[in-house]
Structure 1
Amino acid sequence: MPGPFLSSDIDPFLTLATTEGWICGKWEMEFLLNAFPQGCLVKRVESRALGYITSLRHDKSGWIGNLLVAPDARRGGIGTELMQGALQALLDAGVETVWLTASAKGVDLYRKLGFIAIDSINRWVGEGGGTLGWSPLNPCDPEMIRHVDRVGWGDRRDALLAVTGNRGQIICGNNSFVCIQHWEQGTQLGPWGALHEEHAEPLLEVAVAAAGPAVFLDVPAGNLAAAVLLTRKGFSIRGSNTLMYLGAKPNYSPHNVFALASMGSMG
């Protein structure tokens, strides 16, 4: 059976994740272990960690991410065992809907567990202004940010918004906001939400100007307005995953979600 994901597991996990080309950091893992430790698991055999998974509870929904099995231990059922453990932890915590993003190789596994595809998430990549500075359009109202995000995802995700906002820079507009997060690989835009598509473009202009040379973001394919804006800015799609859910059908509004808060691990 999987055991708890310990703080001492973070560095080995990040080393393995780096070889897979994932974008994740120590701050993210520490947040997940503190926020929902019962849903962060490791499969060990003779003290060796062979697989990892994390999950996060929001309010009525939860998110499963970071399912990673060592290359020499794959196709042996470890991924399924970890998934079942994280899923049970979320359901035991009262979650009604469980989200995840699946690679092409993982879709069949998740379908067998009952997950349903609802959208695709596209990785968009472009160039920023390289100034690493910004000027706010409007003062940021935390309740506005929470409300806009809730309209998009159908749930309160206060802890996730707080941790990404604290590590990044938030730009706010008229019923809209975007967070700029800096990574070694470049600048991420997200979370990014807007109640009306016309309010998203001014935020993108400021965010791109303030971002480093390399910019990336994960965007629902169902948000056609976002695709138009990003294409106009010279961005292009470099990859895609499937957005899936299990349980109660979410009140999901992709045209209000312009970018995810994390690179697939937390929503």
Structure 2
Amino acid sequence: MLSQFNSSHIEAFLQLARAEGWVCGKWEMDFLLQTFPQGCLVKRDGNEVVGYITSLRHHKSGWIGNLLVTPQARRGGIGTELMQGALHALLDAGVETVWLTASAKGVELYKKLGFIAVDSVNRWVGEGSGSARWATSNWYDPDLLRRVDSSGWGDRRDALLTITSGRGQVICGNHSFLCVQHWPHGTQLGPWGGLLEGQAAPMFELALAAAGRSVFLDVPAGNVTAAALLTRNGFSIRGSNTLMYLGVRPKYAPQKVFALASMGSMG
């Protein structure tokens, strides 16, 4: 039997996630548990939690992330059970399309559940200059963020945009935006969306000026403009996952998605 992931499980989960090299924090887990609690689950073996999964409903789509089974409990079907639990929660909530990013080890499992590969997501790393300081104000137009983001993902993702832009700083163009999120060990760029390719380079320069020394972002391989821009600025790929979906084929436009909002767990 699966039970609900709650706040008492967060610290143990984060310790396991750090051991796996994942980028995630308590604020993220709090957000997921508050926003879609029925899709955040744990698997117990007696009194011990041996597996975790989270999911998030957007509007017509959802995202599954943070599937993690303790090393000693792996290869026993726990991951599949957790996946099915999260899928049921999302589909029961009316989601038409379910997204996730899969490691090389997970692709076959997800294919068996009906997921289809649509793109790759590359982890790019590089350096910022930290030469600029932000003003205290972080004014931006939420409608612009929603419009640009939905043009790339084919769905409204209001709660995700609110939490990420609220914890970071947002740079806006006429038809584009970029959120700079600071973590203890570096600066994440994303969510980052754009309708016009020409606005990407000046926006990226502003972000690098405000970022710390270590900068990282997850970028769809289908966005060749982003890849060229990152390469010119000395960034390199340090890992890759497969972007997959289940259900109704999404109106996904990777050329409008320059970076994901989270490092794999929320889209």
TM range (shorter): over 0.9
8 Å contact 1:115–1:246 — kept in the other structure?
Answer: yes
Match of 1:244 in 2: 244
Match of 2:218 in 1: 218
TM-score, length-normalised on structure 2? Answer: 0.98
Tell me which moved more, 106-115 or 169-178.
169-178
**Pair 1:113 & 2:129 matched:** no
Unaligned 5+ residue runs, structure 1? none
What whole-Å deviation, never above 9, does each CA across 1:102-157 have from its counterpart, x for those lacking one?
00000000000000000000000000012462479x96211011100000000000
Match of 1:228 in 2: 228
- Counterpart amino acid of residue 219 in structure 1: V
Match of 1:16 in 2: 16
What whole-Å deviation, never above 9, does each CA across 1:159-201 have from its counterpart, x for those lacking one?
0000001111111112110000011220000000000111111
Match of 1:57 in 2: 57
8 Å contact 1:133–1:211 — kept in the other structure?
Answer: no
Q: How many residues align?
A: 266
Distance change in 2, residues 1:132/1:264 (3 Å): farther
Q: Secondary structure at the match of 1:243?
A: strand
TM-score, length-normalised on structure 1? Answer: 0.98
**Aligned mates of 1:28, 1:133 — CA distance in 2:** 25
**Aligned mates of 1:29, 1:260 — CA distance in 2:** 17
Alignment map for 1:186-197 (pairs within 5 Å): 186-197=186-197
**Pair 1:47 & 2:47 matched:** yes
Deviation of 1:34 (Å): 0.3
Tell me which moved more, 117-126 or 172-181.
172-181
- Counterpart amino acid of residue 20 in structure 2: E
Identity %: 73
- Counterpart amino acid of residue 263 in structure 1: M
Distance change in 2, residues 1:132/1:53 (3 Å): farther
Match of 1:256 in 2: 256
Q: Secondary structure at the match of 1:65?
A: strand
- Counterpart amino acid of residue 30 in structure 1: D
- Counterpart amino acid of residue 84 in structure 2: Q
Match of 1:180 in 2: 180
Match of 2:146 in 1: 146
**Aligned mates of 2:111, 2:205 — CA distance in 1:** 39
**Aligned mates of 2:208, 2:226 — CA distance in 1:** 14
How big is the alpha-carbon RMSD for the aligned residues of Structure 1 and Structure 2?
Answer: 1.3
- Counterpart amino acid of residue 212 in structure 1: G
